[in-house]
A and B are shown apart, each in its own frame.
Chain A
Amino acid sequence: MHPAFSVIFFTVASGAGFGLFSLLFIADTFKLGGGFTPAQLVIGGLVAMSLIVFGLLSSTFHLANPKNAWRAFSRFRTSWLSREGVFAVVFMPLALVYLASIWFEAPQWLRETFGFLSAVLAWITVFSTGMIYACLKTIRQWNTPLVPANYLALGYASGSLLLLLGAVVAGLDTLPFIAMSALIVSIAAVLKAIYYFWIRSPGLTPTINTATGLTRAKVKLLDTGHTHGTFLTQEFGFQIARQKAGLLKVVVFGLGFALPGLMLVWVFNAQGGQAAAVVAACAGIAGAAVERWLFFAEARHVVNLYHGAQRC
């Protein structure tokens, strides 16, 4: 699959934003590290929401006909893409009410209710983002429950690293935030490792034989029938060399999981250390972006069976 940068930016930014918002609610409810002040909570919430909004806006850049984008909310009953849009839009007013109830010191039940609802919707939205890819039977590397699990884990890992940075800047006790980040980042790393292990094996997939129905003998493509590339070869023909993919997986683990983990130790030892927290957050998000690029680059659509692939 051709990796579109607008979609990579969208999934990474909105994942981090939704992750940050839900974890902010947890930090607020349990007063982690002494508790953020209302102003800090509102700033954190607005940072999360702007990540989400910029992500959603960037996702419209890959549309060929964006003037019809508003129609994308209409097929909620069947389409995960539609569901994701609807959930993201429903999240916004709930999140705003939550932030407003913090700012205007509304009763605790109101604050907790709307905080909880927006945290749940954030979770559902990121799950829907993952399901956009996981529901496609045409791409074996995506058609697995590990995909929404990875989207959630990476979104929340990025969010937790951003929250840790917030805690360091706010001068809170960083210990609970370090513990939270360490747990979520290691879960994300383990899930990603299982995913990479899983897609390595060929699995039961369509082959050139089932794609052509010529199952009685070996089949090979002689001629694709087109002079130059088509929409299909441009959209689905992207191929990444195995060696390069392997190298990028090392980068994902090094940048996305190992370096933030190391920085957590640093923040723990220094009880503070803004630079380390900044590096952790930036590395975590950069790692997630590399992971997302690879997620697209490694996906092999079955239409490639009509362009010379023997199996997908």
Chain B
Amino acid sequence: MRLGLVIDLDVCVGCHACAIACKEWNASGTIGPLSDYQPYGAEPSGVWFNRIRHYEMDEYPNNKTVNFPMSCMHCEDADCVTVCPTGASYKRAEDGIVLIDQDKCMGCNYCSWACPYGARELDRSSGTMKKCTLCVDRIYDQELPVEERQPSCVLTCPAHARMFGDFDDPDSAVSRTVRERGGFPLMPELNYNPTNTYLPPRRKPVIPVETQPKGGLKESIKQFANKLVRR
């Protein structure tokens, strides 16, 4: 199994609900708490596993805003795991989830240097590195109804921009969607082979922006009359 997420950049509305749901679930999950520093102060900051950035593609009138959620990509060739000197960082053989053993981490930050996606964040309160667990404490929970055995971010997304599934299975929903929609990984040139895949924004037709052609004498009189008559 190779579990991961598909994120549809065409539908994501950038509401940050996935990040909030992630924080809410994981703050009390196996890796929690996710410390906040000055949450109500002048410089609020803290640990998040999921961050949404907003980009603009191309120039007016072809421009488009792209909302860009990012979390751990659960890479096949995860350098964050190989560089870890303590063995705290590991990748599960059975499902490919990359996790950090909080009891072994010494907080050297080296794994965060090796991660190109900024998926790992140091919790300054516990002194350990933390990251997306793909809600490992949720997706296998037999107590939950089957349809709820998914990461929090996927369940909460109001736009259905996120999908969770097994990329090793060619017939899974994620594999089929990636095939049909031309999904792509981020920074493939670094050869980390990220599992998470992004679906491209659609190519929308350009809305013409030239001024409307004049309607002739009749139209001019109508507009003049409209200006005079008070409604």
Contacts and interface: CB of A to CB of B under 8 A. Distances in A.
Interface string A209-224: 0111110111111111
A154 B84 CA distance: 26
Tell me what chain B mostly uses at the interface: helix, strand, loop, or mixed: loop
Contact of A230 (B56, B103, B121, B128): B121
Interface residues of B, number: 63
A121 to B, nearest CB: 18
A303 interface: yes
A276 B205 CA distance: 75
A68 B43 contact: no
Interface in B86-126: 86-88, 103-110, 112-118, 121-122, 124, 126
Interface stretch (B63-71, B160-168, B173-181): B63-71
A31 interface: no
A108 interface: no
A220 B86 contact: no
Interface string A168-192: 0000000000000000000000000
A68 B109 contact: no
Interface stretch (B20-28, B138-146, B185-193, B220-228): B185-193
Interface string B18-51: 0000000000000000000000000111011001
B29 to A, nearest CB: 19
B84 A214 contact: no
A232 B53 contact: no
Interface in A209-252: 210-214, 216-232, 235-236
A196 interface: no
Contacts of A11: none
A301 interface: yes
Given A217-B62, A220-B56, A75 B187 contact: no
Question: Which 4 residue pairs spanning A and B have beta carbons closest together?
Answer: A64-B107, A65-B127, A64-B127, A217-B58
